[in-house]
Amino acid sequence: MLVPIMAIHDVIVLGAGVAGLQCARRLRGAGVDVLVVDRSDKPGGRCATRTFDGQPADYGPLFMHGDDPGFLAAVGAVPGERLEGWPARVSGRGAPCQPDAFAPFATRLAFTDGMNAFPRSLAEGLSLCLRAQAVSGGIEKDAVVLTLTGGDRLHARDLVLAMALEQTIPFVRMLGKSDGGRSSLGVLEMFASIPCLTVIAGYDAGIVLPDWDICYPEDEPALLLMSNESSKRPRASSRVLLFQASANWSMKRLERPKEEWGRELLEIAAHRLGPWAGAPLWTHLHRWRYSRLDKSNELTGPLELKIGASRIGIAGELFSPGGGLQAAWLSGDRLGKKLAE
């Protein structure tokens, strides 16, 4: 814990993903005392990168895409090397995660250091309280109180909920015991996130990987995409591919042991790419229970509830058209501006 936990903050932002971090940046820029709380050991949430043998591999979103000038300016401010236009070599005619990702007006790029470079840059200078999982929330004496695993309590005048939809709903249920709260809950419960089972696979440096950056197979119900992660790393010494399973396939296997669906996905990879693809040197399996929303699941702005003297703001990809990272950033940005007024 990096902060004195008895202090009453102006605002606590629960969730250090792109939405929560951008909201906190806006608030801090307006002179508001804001603390960002996250259960993870680093900021970024679903905008996730892991390093294997010194080589980063993305396993949430694989590239940035968008057209909003503010969002693109924030992306442009990320330090380090970038790969403008990645993915340039796209194979297959399957649907990408976000339909607008390949629209002619969209800018696309990746970071050599991995996608987590973006939230890392947003987190710069913010007060973060990491490895802190909130388990309940309530209102006491005109302040919001969050209770963490282990019993520590955090206090704030206002609260921002910036987590995946299914992680946000229990807090709205606990805090929003008013007409406004109940109607917000009704709206939120109309939507749902889809899962995504993911395999990162490392191969011998002698393997020649396919000549695409991303492949969206149109004829494989199990696979949403395959990504050549090594093509983002100009100095890569090992060969890394990533396989993201489709939502339907993931849903059916969500509760099965990781090894089982991991093996199945590699068999499918071997069938498509050759036997070498089914026999990596190492794998890392990740179960995204709440990966993203469907394109149609979108509202036009962040939600705000008034409970006693406190305000509860809700941000995330649901609250801006288009979904995905840009929507998460925009919703956090708008909510931060609104709460700072």
List contacts with ligand FAD (CB under 6 A). 14-20, 37-40, 45-47, 60-61, 97-98, 101, 133-134, 162-164, 167, 196, 198, 244, 288, 291-292, 316-317, 324-325, 328
Specify the residue, 37 or 236, whose C-beta has the smaller distance to ligand FAD. 37
Show the 3-state SS of 82-142.
Answer: EEECCCCCEECCCCCCCHHHHCCCCEEEEECCCCCHHHHHHHCCCEEECCCCEEEEEEECC
Please, what is the minimum distance in Å from the beta carbon of residue 53 to ligand FAD?
Answer: 22
Give the alpha-carbon dihedral of 251, 256, 260, 263, to 10 degrees.
20
Specify the residue, 272 or 287, whose C-beta has the smaller distance to ligand FAD. 287
Please, what is the minimum distance in Å from the beta carbon of residue 206 to ligand FAD?
Answer: 29
Direct distance between the N- and C-terminal alpha carbons of the chain, in angstroms, rounded to an integer: 30
Please, what is the minimum distance in Å from the beta carbon of residue 51 to ligand FAD?
Answer: 18
Please, what is the minimum distance in Å from the beta carbon of residue 208 to ligand FAD?
Answer: 26
Please, what is the minimum distance in Å from the beta carbon of residue 247 to ligand FAD?
Answer: 10
Asked whether 182 and 305 are in contact (CB, 8 A), the reply is no
Specify the residue, 49 or 55, whose C-beta has the smaller distance to ligand FAD. 49
Other C-beta atoms closer than 10 Å to the C-beta of 136 total 13
Specify the residue, 187 or 279, whose C-beta has the smaller distance to ligand FAD. 187
Closest CA to 159 of 329, 20, 300, 326: 20
Amino acid, res. 61: P
Greatest distance between any 2 Cα atoms in the chain: 64
Specify the residue, 31 or 150, whose C-beta has the smaller distance to ligand FAD. 150
The strand pair at 134-140 and 143-148 is best described as antiparallel
